[in-house]
Amino acid sequence: MSYQNLLLEQPEPGIYLLTINRPQVLNALNAAMLNELAEVVALVAADAAARVLLITGAGDKAFVAGGDISEMQSLTADQARAFSEKGMRFMHALEALPVPVIALVQGYALGGGCELAMACDWIIASERAVFGQPEVNLGIPPGFGGTQRLARLVGRARALELVTTARQVKAEEALAIGLVTQVVPAAELRERGLAVARTIAAKGPVAVGLAKQAVQRGQDLDLVNACAYETAAFALAFSTEDQREGMHAFLEKRVAKFSGK
């Protein structure tokens, strides 16, 4: 499938690599791109063979430098609400994918780009990555979940400081505050992402999906109920072919061949 603003490829079986491809405007998000991104999420969700989705940006200057201001500047309040809701629906759908989603960030991830990266399950950043929520410079707050996801990742006080000052955060600080999980040389970013994806793709896909759901849903529950959710996921796994294959392979001292069933 071809897209106007995106490149989607499968460099290896089960591994999708999505590239935001508007380098002439630093990969800025607009309504047309959000529509295409939603299509990609639906495609990956429908693929039983999918194991990991990697998301990156074209060029070396930006992951996504923000929303497309030329499109946003003339929006009415009602149109702005619709645009925010469109972005929110995509971010929620991205989070709900049953496979891990990893952002590979080089250059700027600002505004909507930072929000997109945070909607992924985790972020691997190049040493040249820069993050921020600069919307208050434009007279608006974040609109694609930035106030909420940033607070959940780095804490309420630090999130408020970053959002209200529009201060940009370079890669090493992003690592120190828990916004990203690792920082790598720019030339190694793609290969590091693929290496992590290969590792995940070799595991039991049902178990990976259940673990992702447990982490996501459990964080909004109290500990007792979150652990009860984990118990339910653990039990459900014992009804799968993957559980039987994984344990048999372990006892037989061979590599498991998971089917995702």
One DSSP character per residue, 7-33 reads EEEEEETTEEEEEE--GGGTT-B-HHH
Does 230 participate in catalysis according to the annotation? no
Write the single-letter amino acid at 2.
S
- Answer for the pair 108, 127: CB distance below 8 angstroms, yes or no: no
3-state DSSP assignment of residue 68: coil
Half-sphere CA count of 110, side-chain side, radius 13 A: 24
Does 172 participate in catalysis according to the annotation? no
Catalytic residue (choose from 115, 173, 241, 252): 115
User: Which distant-in-sequence residues (6+ apart) come within 8 Å of 192 by Cβ?
Assistant: 104, 124, 182, 184
**What is the rounded distance in angstroms from the CA atom of residue 64 to the CA atom of residue 113?**
4
Catalytic residue (choose from 36, 71, 127, 135): 135
Give catalytic residues, as residue numbers. 115, 135
